[in-house]
Structure 1
Amino acid sequence: MTDVASSGADIHGVTLEATLDALGLAILVCDKNDEFVFASRPILQLFAIAPEFIAPGTRLRDFLGAVFDVGLRGGTSPEKSRRRVNRDDWIAERISHHWRERYETVQRLGQQRWVSVRMRRLPTGMGVVSFTDISEQKKREEQLQIDMDRVGVTENILDDLPNPIFVKDRGLTYVGVNKAFCTIHGILPEAILGRSAWDLVDPELAEKFEISDRHVLETGEMFSLAEQIVRNDGEDIWVLTRKFRIGEAGKHMLVTCMSDVTDLVAGREIDINEPLRIKDFDAFEPAQNCYDPFRSIDVQHLREAVSIIEPALPVTRRALVMSHAEVFEQSLVPQLRKWGFDACAVTSLDELMAFGEIASASSVAIDILLVDAASTEIRAILSAWNASPFLLVGRDWRTAELHADITALLANVEAPQVEAHGLPADWDIIVSEPGEQAIHVAEVDVIVAEDNEINQFVFAQILEGLGISYRIAANGEEAVRLWQQHRPNLVLMDVAMPVMNGFDAALAIRAAEGGGSTRTPIIAVTTPAIDLDVERSRAAGMDDHITKPISPDMIEAVYRKYVASQSKQEQLTA
């Protein structure tokens, strides 16, 4: 008889080791006295300790002490001094984790290794710990985050570029667009991405684009073309379009960059000392037409139709232009004179006030003040000037629209009638009978200042449903202009808008009112839970605020509070 173990005595241990290795796990089992019953060999690959520290009978405390001594304790790296953490305290804290019913954590071992640790203490007192190397997963997550950050930075850079840029895949589907390109179409990126040119432009033009796109993708040759584009707002822009192929073979993509040269074509001065102009308009081919006349028929087409016959305003009308830009003055003053105005310009607030004093002393009436919307002194100008109505004019003003705005603003302002001796022709004073005092009835009940197209649609649907007349302004400057024309009963003012924000627009309206008896209620429309917007709204002279998203009940309540109740009170007072 020989004292030799059978060949299958350790079969269970070998099978367990093979199974754990296949699963990528390392297992540690200890009894209720925290002495090892079983420890798999892969533990030594995670912790650079001697093999005797995982032998059966080894105390858990000794194993943790060995891990601490080699500097691979969780949350630290070998480069850091282990003396910064008390050894006994660290071991005691880890043992307490082992005696929890369940405990899971992710530990970083060194600079490039992470391990997932799961602990379970059974009712019998037996403890089971599993270790899973998740280093590759963590590296992929970190790389993914780096890639996402890089993509975010790239998108921000593209969006900040003034020139339209877009990217197509091999199927000629839009996979990337910047804000400048979306502005041309007047739609959000979500409405462009995943679509093709066939969805955005006429079939003839889409086919033309596809021919050049395919040629660039197949040959790698750069494509260049001078094009004339009609934006969604009806404005013409001239661009030099260039198409490039990028990426690896089989994964090529098409990048299109449009260099906006509108300033050169339109003859605007790029450099004050050396104005540059392009005279050959034939070099530009007609391209995209993103303008939808039906969307603007109530405003743009009617204005242009009326402006076909431009009746000369009375010669006695006098207009004053306030602008720091010489180009703005040189383009606007001659146009005003064509319309029959006696027009001139000033270039600063001091000049404006001095001109007003001289005109007043000479009994010369100024009928309208046109202020450059790009001026940095708008608030001061509107606060100090009370000699006449004013109109904010953008640098991109168009003849038909400006003529219509001036005509509407002066429609209810009688031109001064002066006899030869200089006295007013009519000295009659009409005093209304008691009970017959006129009550102001606005042509437009509500002006909505909102730049978001979806919100514009929501406002329109609600106000139409309530039977309230309204006009919508796309920015603060337009809101002030519409207020000047219609003098509505209520203004709903979005505080965050381009060109001029809601706060400045409210200040401009209050300045124009001049503290008189007539005061238009202005309601700020803000995003939820932004107290700063509410405080700035009050400081700008707004009467109340509502928060998005808006609802019919909300709009009706505001209208009843500031319009219906006020009209009823005026009638009772009358």
Structure 2
Amino acid sequence: MNDLASADANIQAVMLEVISEGISGGVFVYDRNDLIVFASQQLLTLLPVPKSFLTPGTRLRDFLGAVYDGGGRFLTDASGPRRMLSREDWVAEQIATLWKERAESQERRGTDRWVSFTKRRLSSGYGVCVVRDISDHKKREEQWRADMERVQITEEVLDNLPFPVTVKDSNLTFVAVNKMAASFLDLPPEAILGRKGSDIHPPQVEQRLDRVNRGVIDLGEPQQMSELVTRPDGSQVVIIANKYRIGKPGRYYLVTAMEDITGLVATEDGQITPRMSRGGLIATSLHRHERDRPVQTAVEPERSQLSHRKVLVASSDPRTSAEALDILADLGFDTSSVSDGEELELFLQLAKEASITIDLVVVDTLADKACLEIVQRHRIPALAINGVRVKRDLAAGVARQFSQPAATEAGREEDWQIASRAGENAAIDVLVAEDNGVNQIVFSQILEGLGYRYAIAADGEEAVRLWQERSPRLILMDITLPKLSGFDASVRIRNLETIDNSIPIIGVLPQAFERDRDQCFASGMNEVILKPISPEALEAVFQTYLGIPAKHSYA
């Protein structure tokens, strides 16, 4: 009979240990005589007591005294007064709380350790105390309080700014507006938040703004726009709108800050001219006498080489087309423009019938996706450029294009077979795994402009093979590859590596879906970037993973 009782006691002790592990805390049970009946081993990691004080039959007074002697005397919760008690007073206070039917407390040990005590007194006279380390919870709670305070301060600052500020998420839905923005739009904040620009602006205005906004969100390139705006009340104001992107991949936000400069300009027939002359400005120099920094300039071909060249611009945005035509005209080109793939096809066909040679087609990557494919089919050199960066990138891109040796007619067929800037067996800097022909052209032009040696693989199996043969320093991996997906190709490369994660693999995603990001990291990729690809995005990757200083050849 005694053996059975002993077995039952052992089973109960094992069950309590399992429960203790399951709740990630320590448990001790005591009887009505204040003797410990059971104490789990987890208490040793939570309380500074020798193991001998956890044996059944130990007096609670002795157990608590050992806690006190080991430096475990607790300060009260931060919300209450801090006290330091004598050994006897502290032990007596703890025993008193253990006799309560129900008691909970959070107590601090040292500067960054918090422990919670949950105490229950059962009707049978037995008591149970659960001890948990809640340091992480406390840190999160304190961080949450700090974040909330920071948010409140930020909201207060935004609301009191003297100019309108709006914030949109990656879907271009308003998520924040300040008081001045609501006043500017002549709407209450609740009529703006949660809505898109199409719910507020006229269709023709939103169509133009949507293109610019998406360019900023996708590429991270800040934009500045000057606008003559007619407000809902009929008044006209001249504003400068600065747009920039904040956040992290997959969670980007678009911030627009508008400044009213009506008092500084004059408007006539829709034209904006400054009222203040340069002589009316106070000249201020912030030069710190640092050594002069070298200024990089794009190498442009002689104008005489360009005067009879014919360049066609393909863009669905009239403003982009106008900017591009002005820049090309200043460089001496003979220019024209089309707005979509259908017009482009007709124009090139008519040019061919009239024996007119088109030397270059500048394709806005935000326009009709078929345009690059049409140009490729007609075997005409193309320059893919993002419409929102025409002012900055077009002149340098065209200069690079016409500075390259002219291709012979016999070699023109090979021009459209995207190849590396290195020999067939030479080592390369970057391996691009991309099956889409248009995207291959974009990658090629960017990498050539930045001066990197590269190779392009059209499927996952070729990507693995070229990695083995060409020893790239970094891989840009599209996830939707034929034969072997980008995820599977990454896993295979990681399995074949002799040194774990020796080569950075960067996933290239068409959209910012969390499941794709998670699968990229699960397959061994180091980072992800989003399409459409920009020179800035690639250089940021190269600086991070290859330690290569920015070249800025695209500027």
One fold, TM greater than 0.5? Answer: no
- TM-score, structure 2 length as denominator? 0.44
- TM-score, structure 1 length as denominator? 0.43
From the CA coordinates, give the structure whose radius of gyration is larger.
1
